[in-house]
């Protein structure tokens, strides 16, 4: 009995210190009967008291502002509902609602290459940054169509110096001919050539 009494007393003391409302809770602490000996009734009372105290501490901790963005009320004007904010029902859709328009995408890519590379001369030091810029700009323009949902846009750019040589660009990948698609465009001037291939890959 003495060990149970000690454990119960220590538990209640630690919970009182962590709850932050000691003055309010000390008035409700049950007292021992029979000159300090703990009876079965005292054990049941202490168990109920510690259970209620634990629930109170948990509720206080839950109300505190945390570092997570969904718990931070200052990020939005309304309080986030933690129970229903992330509830999304499955759609069970395996096919896309719509596919990217090959004609419209090709027109956007051709227009951009004509504007961007008309007066550009080949420089080996700038090829890497230029090809990355072209790929990013093309993806940005295509996704502003707007881009169909659940489609991933992958842009591959081949850029090189034009010296009268022949060139063949090819690619190979796992493909779903029903839902996936691709668009290829090319441009060249007196100094540089550019071949752009855009893959539209559907994610089920």
Give the domain ranges of the chain: 2-75, 102-202
Q: Are 49 and 28 in contact (CB under 8 A)?
A: yes
The predicted-structure confidence for 143-191, as pLDDT tens digits, reads as follows 998 899 999 999 999 999 998 888 888 888 888 889 999 999 999 999 9
**Which residues, 6 or more positions from 8, have their beta carbon under 8 angstroms from its beta carbon?**
38, 43, 46, 47, 50
pTM: 0.55
Rounded to 5 degrees, what angle do the CA atoms 96, 100, 102 make?
A: 140
> Per-residue pLDDT for 105 more than 50?
yes
| More reliable by pLDDT, 26 or 53 | 53
> Per-residue pLDDT for 42 more than 70?
yes
| More reliable by pLDDT, 85 or 186 | 186
Distance CA 143, CA 153 (A): 8
Predicted local confidence at residue 30, as pLDDT: 58
Distance CA 54, CA 70 (A): 24
Architecture of domain 102-202: 2-Layer Sandwich (3.30)
């Amino acid at each position: 009995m003495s060990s149970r009494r000690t454990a119960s007393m220590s538990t209640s003391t630690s919970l009182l210190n962590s709850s932050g409302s000691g003055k309010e809770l000390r008035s409700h602490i049950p007292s021992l009967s029979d000159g300090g000996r703990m009876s079965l009734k005292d054990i049941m009372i202490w168990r109920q008291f510690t259970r209620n105290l634990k629930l109170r501490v948990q509720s206080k901790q839950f109300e505190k502002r945390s570092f997570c963005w969904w718990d931070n009320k200052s990020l939005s004007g309304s309080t986030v509902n933690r129970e229903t904010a992330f509830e999304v029902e499955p759609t069970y859709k395996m096919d896309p609602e719509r596919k990217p328009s090959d004609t419209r995408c090709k027109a956007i890519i051709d227009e951009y290459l004509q504007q961007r590379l008309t007066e550009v001369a080949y420089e080996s030091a700038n090829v890497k940054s230029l090809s990355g810029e072209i790929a990013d700009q093309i993806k940005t323009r295509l996704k502003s169509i707007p881009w169909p949902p659940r489609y991933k846009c992958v842009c591959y750019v081949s850029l090189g110096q034009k010296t009268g040589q022949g060139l063949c660009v090819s690619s190979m990948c796992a493909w779903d001919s029903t839902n996936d698609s691709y668009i290829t465009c090319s441009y060249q001037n007196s100094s540089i050539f550019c071949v752009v291939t855009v893959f539209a890959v559907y994610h089920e």
